[in-house]
Structure 1
């Protein structure tokens, strides 16, 4: 099956990580910025492993020097998603990359991003929301600044707080202040865990009372933890292609998504950083159909689960569900 025209909901997409390599090269040329070592011979992003990926990721963001560049990026990413049948997406956006954690600068970046998102909805029919995202390996103090940025701009577009970066840098409990701040401001919460940190990192994330977990797949190694995820109705933002490309699992056949679903865990499907991992939402669906025999009914259930877990208002959720029916 082709799946490109299947309506899709994506909950785990990094706005900077979704930057097409040709977009990054074009901006680098415009601004005379050297991106030596960022690309391979074919023009794609080049890195050795997850930790080198983080370095290359941050190096590529050098071309995003101001609100205008983020507006251009937002339009490019959302147009690309719409071409893959995505009708609603949530993008992780880091205040660290948008003004260095300064609230005033963040508001300028956010105004440009929000305008671009509005234009993408008008032109391509794709709805979107933003999840402000501290970078874990930047440390708890910088995370506090990012959380304050999020708390100051909670509204129609910024609806959540997450945390990304190196799962092995400290404990998520170290970031409790930031998550408490966001919760009190009315933001919904997610956290990257259970990718490289193992099931213990998922337990760590649950101490923050998050509603969703980015990845979370290593929870399968702890049956009691799987039962806890089911009992607490925590939704996993599963990114199968990313997990295989980075070597969390050697093959898609080894990925635990079906075992998690069979155990009753709420799962969704996303691309994470699509150009870095040579994937699209359509490719994710095609690969899951090929390996696990997922059909339109299974994808419909996954998308409805994603819509119900989305960090959006109820009118938007009802509209998404109507498009999925």
Structure 2
């Protein structure tokens, strides 16, 4: 499959710069895979759109205040995006600008209010990422200082500032120190859910379960190769609890539907699902690349935001849209789902839906 098949034109004014209030006021494009039928609703209508007995599965990761700003000894500015904790006060990070940086070099990081300064040394470099060894005052743990030192890492296409709470889901939670699966980006489909909406879904007989996948910076990386076969898929760590695995496996055993909230939830579940759609509890890393032709085993319906052109996430929703739709009029299977998504995106653009992280949503079932 060629990367250009994931291209589409989006008018810049449709890139949402701020979240809606309340969260569940976002518009919802509903796509029926079997027929290609599209209807226009809002997220708060979900209790009426889903089926009694459905199981919603969310990603409950929390976005870390992972963006740091600092200075080299020469006074040059440096920006960091923390990706993964490698040990106490040692983090893997993306740095920019990075051309003039060298192993052994020093950077001092400064909090937005300039009340805190933390020294660091560039310990190693691996491909695009660096290892930063921090030296916090009083031998503190840099993780404990991030609420003051760091900023929420909003996506590059969002120019406006936003309150941290609006770039967190209402159910997000930090993991324990032994399993710190927090993220560099939000699982954005989950941003639409309020406690009141979750309660209404439960009253309708729609239960919830939670997995955790640490969303990395790779989620924003476009496909730069001509063919998807040549794209190096990023890896992300995930965790499935015994309780969640039991909920999902019982749901599949009784023939019920699993509704994934977000592409990160899809990646988590499909990485471990067996032929019956059952999943195993545990912690692992996935570099699964879901694209047209993929056979879904666990996920039966998907709630997701609208994705960037030439992105692996657009390939994922294209794959999901085809999984119940037979090819028509001479189409081959690898194109029919993606064609359905392109048609749905064209309608969303015509109706001026808001796109990307703070934008509207899409239900594919």
Common fold: TM-score over 0.5? no
Query: Higher relative CO (CA 8 A, sep ≥ 6), structure 1 or 2?
Result: 2
TM range (shorter): 0.3 to 0.5
Q: Which has the larger radius of gyration?
A: 2
TM score, norm. by length of structure 1: 0.35
